[in-house]
Each structure stands twice: as structure tokens, then as C-alpha cells.
Amino acid sequence: MSNLLAARSQMAVSLGFHIIFTCIGMTMPWLMAAAELRYRQSHQPVYRELAKAWSKGVGVFFAVGAVSGTVLSFELGLLWPEFMRHAGPIIGLPFSWEGTAFFIEAIALGLFLYGWDRLPPFIHLFSGIVVGVSGVASGVLVIAANGFMNSPAGFRWVDGHAVDIDPVAAMFNDAWASESLHMVIAAFVSTGFAAAGVHAYCMLRGSKKREFHQQGLKLALTMGAVGALLQPLSGDLSAKDVAKRQPAKLAAMEALYETQRGAPLLLGGIPDDAARTVHHAIEIPRGLSFLAFADPDAEVIGLDRIPRDQWPPITITHFAFQIMVGLGTLMAAVGASFLLLRWRRPQLLNHRAVLGCIAACTPLGFLAVEAGWTVTEVGRQPWIIYGVMRTADAVSPMPGLQWSFLSIMLVYGLLGAVTCSVVVRLIRANERGLALGPHEPDQNAGELAKQAAHG
């Protein structure tokens, strides 16, 4: 394994791991705040219970996300010192803002988790909303840095050095708006579907807390479904933006080898770089030209116009794009059906087939997020700063990076497995009514013990 591939793989594993936690950290607080709002309005204890259960999830994911985020801020330098040397002063600004947002999120989360009985209700609810707002702000700010890598701005590149640096212009780069919109919606969709899927699964398993899971499923899936229906619109903005700025990435996403007018949209298919063709794909005539430029006869630049040494890996980018779009479409369909059922036939939401379908969707959002990041990151190769600096020129000179990659993969693999098993046990404990966790666990356990002793 070459040093470059090892460094890219390590970055991919670290980011791929971190992103799940940030998605949940960004959007789960909105669920817990929404549940608390319902509780304050209706005084039904089921919503208080939901808010508490979800906030425990936020607590676990926030702590692990803080750790994996700290790791990333080191890895930027450990793996890509040459990139940081030049890009740090240009695009570091959003990272310092992100630090502020993270700090506010931590404070508000501390108030929310431990303040149920100490804070006035209004302030408690407000702190929940602040967790959500600052979580989304963190995500949007970090994406500014990724937008810069896709759409460099705020400097001139002269003889291998950045001059006339303008950090504000770099932060407000062209890709930022469409990328962060797409990512924020994706976070809401993936978390909404995952949370709803877990509730559906518990109902299928015959949970005694039916009301709790029903309300949880409704709130979470409404959030996910609305997002899933909005996502294609945001995806369209992103696609048009990529078509304009990064023709090589678009060509790789669609495996378009020849520049053409009225380019077709491909569904599926296996790209063949040697023969410069795609096997077994379903073609929608003029679809790509229409989607990319809103004109069925527009010319779309193919890979033939891109020098061979500047091609991104076509197969990975194409497959990842197909997976993302496919899963997104599926979730939009499930979401639309859910909203329709909720409106016209709410009793059907308890049907086992419906619950099974929702439970099966649990991981889809996160898979789509991973696929989407694969598209944007692999599709940008061989550049780390598009058109300016190659990834190969940015990598650390230290030999043997594959060992560092292997050890990180081992650590994250273990960490991911344990996190999943802890979340499963938290859900099961919740089923048994043992609300262990940060809220009065000892008192709860004590009361239960007392009840057991007296009963």
C-alpha cells in the first residue's frame, strides 16, 4: 500500500466514522427539543420520556463525536502537512468559528442533560434548541472548508505559494452554500429515518411502551420524510454547481467518457475505463444535459476533455453516486408514503408491514451520507485543492503510514462496534423501564429496588 493510499484511507475511515456522529449530533437535538416542546404544551409524560431518551442518545454520540473530531484536527496535520501549511491560513477561519459553535453546543448540552429539575422550563427548552442550532452551525462551518477544497477562493497561487490571502472570501466560496444545504438536509434525513427505524423495530418486537414508540416514530419520521422530499431539490442545486465548476467530477459521477450534446443520464452500469464505455446501464436520453444545465441539448464535458492524469477514480465515484441517488429516491418514496398515511390513514401506521418497512430503512440515510461523501471526495481526486494542489503533493513524508492506517482502522472498528452494542443495550434498558444514564440513575435504581423489596 502506498503512503498516499494509506493516508487517504485513514482520512476516509476517520471522516466516515466522525460523520455519523456529527449527523446525529446536529439533528437529534432538534428531536429532543421538539419532544420537550410537546411536553411543555400538552403535559403528556410520554413526550418528557421521549426527550430524555433521545437526549441520552445525543449525550453518547456527542462525546464520541467530540473525541473523533479532536482526532481529525490532529490528522489534518499528521497526514496532510503540506496542505495545512498552505491552506491553514486561508481556510482556517471557519475552523475557529466551529470551535466556538462546538463550545456553545457543549455548554447547552450540559444544561439540557443535567438541568431537567434545576432550570426553569423555558430556559431548559431554550438550551435544547441552542444545542441544535450550534450543532448545525458546526456542520455548516466545517463544510466551508470542504467547499474551499472543491472551489478554491480567497488567494492567488504564485510559484507554489498562496499570496493575497483573503480568509473571508475563502470561507464564502462558491461551493459552500449548495454543499452545506445538501449535508444539513442529509443529516436530518439520516437521523430521522434511523431514530424512526429503531422505534419501529421496538414496536415489532412487541414493546410494552407502545405509546412511547408511536409518538417517537411519528416525530422522527416526519422530520426525516420532509427532509427526504426536500433533498432532491438540494441535490439538483449541487449537481448544477458541480457541472459548472468541476466537470471532471460530474463526468466521473455519470461515467461520461465522451463530450456530447444531449448527454444521457445513466442508471447503474459498470464503467470500463479501457474501452471508455459503460456496460449494462439504463440510459435516459438527454437526461444528464437536462439535469446539469436545465437544457436537454446542452453540451456536457466528458472525460475525453480531461487529461488522463487528472481523472478521478471513475468506478468508485460512479457507483457511490448511484448508491446515493438510489437510496435518496427510496427514502423520498418511503417518506412520502408515510406522510400520506399519517394524513389519511393513521391507523395503518401500526400495521406490521409498515413498521417492518420503516425498520428496514434504519441504516439507509447513513449509507447515503457515506456514499455522498465518497462522491465529493473521490470525485475531487487527484486534487486536494481543486486545480491547485495535488493530494500526492500534500501527503506526509513519513514512511510507513499504512501502519498508522491499520491501527486507526482497528481502533475505529472496535469503537464503532462497542458504540452500537451500548446503544442497543440502552434501548433495551429503556424497554425494561430502567432509565439508566445521566438522569438520576441511582434514585431510579433505588426506587425500583424499593418497589421490588416492598412488592
Partner 1 sequence: MAELVLAVMLAALVIYAVFGGADFGVGIIEPFVRQRDGIDGAIAPVWEANHVWLVLALVLAFVGFPEFYALTTTYLHLPLLGVLFGIVARGSAFTFRHYDPKPGGLAGWYTALFRAGSVLTPLFLGICMAATASSEFPTDPKAGFYAWYIAPWNTPFAWATGLFVVALFAFEGAALLSAEHALAGLPLPHEGLARFTHVFAIFCGALVFTIAYFAELPWLTELLSSGWAIAALTCATLLVPQVASAFDRGRPWRLRLAMGAQVSCVLFGFFAAQFPVLLRLDNRLLTYQDAVAPEATMRTLVWALVIGLVLILPGFVYLILVYKAGPNTRFSDSH
In contact, 155 and 164? CB cutoff 8 Å: yes
Q: Is 71 in the site for partner 1 (CB under 8 A)?
A: yes
How many residues touch partner 1 under the rule CB under 8 A: the total is 79
CB of 161 to partner 1, least distance (A): 11
**Segment lying near partner 1 (by CB under 8 A), choices 38-46, 192-200, 276-284, 424-432:** 424-432
**Segment lying near partner 1 (by CB under 8 A), choices 22-30, 70-78, 276-284, 300-308:** 70-78
Cα torsion through 258, 263, 267, 273, rounded to 10: 0
Residues 222-261, interacting with partner 1 (CB under 8 A): none
CB of 37 to partner 1, least distance (A): 20
Residues 302-361, interacting with partner 1 (CB under 8 A): none
Q: Is 172 in the site for partner 1 (CB under 8 A)?
A: no
Cα of first residue to Cα of last residue in the chain, in angstroms, is: 64
In contact, 206 and 431? CB cutoff 8 Å: no
Report cis status (omega within 30 of 0) of the bond before 89.
no
* DSSP code string of 121-177: HHHHHHHHHHHHHHHHHHHHHHHHHHHHHHS--S-EEETTEEES--HHHHHT-TTHH
Nearest to 148 by CA among 169, 127, 122, 124: 169
Among 69, 139, 335, 372, indicate the residue that binds partner 1 (CB under 8 A): 69
Residues 81-140, interacting with partner 1 (CB under 8 A): 81-82, 84-86, 88-90, 92-93, 95-97, 99-100, 102-104, 106-111, 113-115, 117-119, 130
CB of 116 to partner 1, least distance (A): 8
CB of 432 to partner 1, least distance (A): 9
Euclidean distance between CA atoms 342 and 24, whole angstroms: 24
Q: Is 160 in the site for partner 1 (CB under 8 A)?
A: no
Beta-strand relationship, 270-272 and 299-300: unpaired
Cα torsion through 161, 167, 168, 171, rounded to 10: 90
Residues 359-398, interacting with partner 1 (CB under 8 A): 396-398
- Residue 244 or 428: the one with the smaller Cβ distance to partner 1 is 428
Among 1, 5, 67, 340, indicate the residue that binds partner 1 (CB under 8 A): 67
The residues facing 278 across adjacent strands are 271
* Number of CB atoms found within 10 A of residue 9's CB: 17
CB of 208 to partner 1, least distance (A): 17
CB of 280 to partner 1, least distance (A): 43
Q: Is 442 in the site for partner 1 (CB under 8 A)?
A: yes
Grid coordinates given for 385: 485543492
Q: Is 11 in the site for partner 1 (CB under 8 A)?
A: no
In contact, 246 and 150? CB cutoff 8 Å: yes
Q: Is 166 in the site for partner 1 (CB under 8 A)?
A: yes
CB of 25 to partner 1, least distance (A): 12
